[in-house]
């Protein structure tokens, strides 16, 4: 067989694609990227694209931030790799754990490192199973999440993820229970107010706990804003309704802040934006501004104490990864936290969010096939509909959101199709002019696609 010549053919010949619409690849080819410049990426043909998806939510400081690059280079020269096993860890790991507890909503706590958000959620489940078993309650194994939630791709975290595509793997595993998605626009019943919707979800939680038995439930995991579900902020009062129910039954609430952590919603943590304090936080993505694969489990005081007691009973926690607490990753994370919190990036989200919302709302007003604009901070979604009044979606066969994403790519804009929504979660460094560029290119893409499918 002759070797393929083009970058696109080489990619298609030797690589498997994850979460990729293969008909689009067959029709349009693969975009092979060589480098980035600020919020832009550049492909092998020299074409620039404004990446309004921040890579995968995570490149919040852009693709060439000199401070992050220098932090990585300096740590590689000083100490390029290690683990956190056998009572040894790098000084960078110690400093990052201190910093994460300091910036968390917890008065004190402890941190465990992974290589991704998926692994961090998986690890948190194992922690809950471990401590419940150590406390003489081995039957507390069931995990509660919500439909349309996304928590990862390991066998456990995919079981937590309330997406129908996991059926192709024979998932979820037994004991993973999905409750109603707190998206009032889509799942509110006719004539139901938002407050009534939230009260119904609270009753559902109570009913599930009664049906399954509180003594069989290990924990409840929730994203403050559902990210890969299509940017779904919770209905008003949702967490204030569910958390007291969980507390009454002794069920820990775990905030999956893989996407929302470190500024995306306008606060350091999404749980702060929505005014609740969880028992633990899952972090990744913005933790290193996308410059290193890393995840973290941040335990609050109660779970820290319970884990300490469970570990003491057998003299170890038999879990970990070769690159847990990697010194280069920790050095980058320390710099990334400083960049977001002290170099003005978090403030840019606070200052820019009203402008972003206003620009997207103006686009919605120009397009009758946009049924809902939803989001907060620098994470927003536009939901495409056949009919705005009835909320009737487009026929699935039309692949409307994929068409919009492809049309946007033709315009030099990267955005993400999720369901029938188009998601925009730009880097925090976006200037006003670049935000306007994002609006203009998206508007042209929407005009083109809605004319085609109208």
Instruction: Check residue 1 and give its pLDDT.
Output: 56
Q: At 50, phi and psi to the nearest 5?
A: -75, 115
pLDDT at 4: 75
pTM over 0.85: yes
Fold of 69-342: 3.40.640
Q: How confident is the model at residue 5 (pLDDT cuts 50, 70, 90)?
A: confident
For position 50, what pLDDT does the model report?
98
Strand order from edge to edge, sheet including 421-424: 370-376, 379-384, 421-424, 416-418
CATH for 31-64+344-453? 3.90.1150.10
CA 295 distance to own-chain centroid: 12
Sheet holding 33-37, edge to edge: 33-37, 40-43, 48-51, 413-414
Asked if the domains at 31-64+344-453 and 69-342 fall in one CATH topology, the answer is no
Give the residue from 401, 447, 438 showing the smallest Cα distance to 24: 401
- Residue 454's pLDDT is 80
Domain layout of the chain by residue ranges: 31-64+344-453, 69-342
Positive or negative, the Cα torsion across 207, 171, 145, 195? negative
DSSP 418: E
**Phi, psi for 361 (deg, rounded to 5):** -65, -35
**What is the tens place of the pLDDT at every residue in 60-108?**
999 999 999 999 999 999 999 999 999 999 999 999 999 999 999 999 9
**Lowest mean pLDDT segment, chosen from 9-23, 261-275, 348-362:** 9-23
For the stretch 36-66, pLDDT in tens is 999 999 999 999 999 999 999 999 999 999 9
**Region 155-169: what's the mean pLDDT?**
97
The length of the chain, given as a count of residues: 454
Say if residues 82 and 89 touch (Cβ distance below 8 Å). yes
Q: Is the pLDDT of residue 216 over 60?
A: yes
The answer on pLDDT for 205 being more than 80 is yes
Cα 274 to Cα 244: distance, rounded to the nearest angstrom: 15
CA distance 111 to 213: 30
Residue 254: what pLDDT?
98
Exposure letters 192-205 (e unless 16+ CB within 10 A, then b): eeeeebbebbbeeb
Burial of 236 (0-12, 13-18, 19+ CB in 10 A): middle
């Amino acid at each position: 067989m002759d070797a393929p010549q083009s970058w696109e053919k080489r990619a298609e010949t030797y690589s498997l694609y994850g979460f990729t619409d293969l008909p689009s690849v067959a029709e349009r080819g693969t975009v092979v990227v060589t480098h980035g410049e600020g919020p832009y990426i550049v492909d092998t043909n020299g074409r620039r694209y404004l990446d309004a998806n921040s890579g995968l939510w995570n490149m919040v400081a852009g693709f060439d931030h000199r401070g992050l690059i220098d932090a990585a280079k300096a740590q590689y020269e000083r100490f390029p790799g290690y683990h956190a096993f056998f009572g040894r860890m790098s000084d960078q790991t110690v400093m990052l754990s201190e910093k994460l507890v300091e910036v968390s909503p917890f008065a004190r706590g402890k941190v465990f490192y992974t290589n991704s958000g998926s692994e961090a959620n998986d690890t948190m489940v194992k922690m809950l199973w471990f401590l419940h078993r150590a406390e003489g309650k081995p039957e507390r194994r069931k995990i509660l999440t919500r439909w349309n939630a996304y928590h990862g791709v390991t066998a456990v975290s995919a079981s937590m993820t309330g997406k129908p595509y996991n059926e192709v793997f024979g998932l979820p595993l037994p004991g993973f229970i999905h409750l109603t998605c707190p998206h009032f626009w889509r799942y509110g019943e006719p004539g139901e107010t938002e407050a009534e919707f939230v009260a119904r979800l609270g009753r559902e939680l109570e009913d599930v706990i009664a049906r399954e038995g509180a003594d069989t439930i290990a924990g409840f995991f929730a994203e403050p804003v559902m990210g890969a579900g299509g940017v779904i902020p919770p209905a008003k009062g949702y967490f204030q309704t569910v958390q007291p129910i969980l507390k009454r039954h002794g069920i820990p609430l775990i905030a999956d802040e893989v996407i929302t952590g470190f500024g995306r919603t306008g606060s350091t943590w999404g749980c702060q934006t929505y005014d609740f304090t969880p028992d633990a936080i899952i972090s990744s993505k913005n933790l290193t501004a996308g410059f290193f694969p890393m995840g973290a489990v941040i335990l609050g005081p109660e779970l820290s104490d319970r884990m300490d007691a469970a570990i003491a009973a057998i003299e170890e926690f038999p879990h970990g990864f070769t690159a847990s607490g990697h010194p280069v990753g920790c050095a980058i994370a320390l710099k990334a936290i400083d960049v977001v919190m002290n170099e003005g990036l978090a403030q840019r989200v606070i200052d820019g969010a009203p402008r972003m919302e206003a620009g997207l709302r103006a686009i919605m007003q120009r397009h009758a096939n946009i049924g809902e604009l939803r989001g907060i901070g620098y994470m927003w979604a536009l939901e495409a509909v056949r009919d705005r009044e009835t909320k009737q979606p487009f026929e699935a066969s039309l692949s409307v959101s994929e068409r919009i994403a492809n049309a946007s790519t033709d315009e030099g804009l990267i955005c993400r199709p999720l369901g029938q929504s188009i998601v925009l979660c730009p880097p925090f460094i976006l200037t006003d002019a670049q935000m306007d560029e994002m609006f203009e290119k998206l508007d042209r893409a929407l005009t083109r696609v809605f004319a085609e499918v109208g």
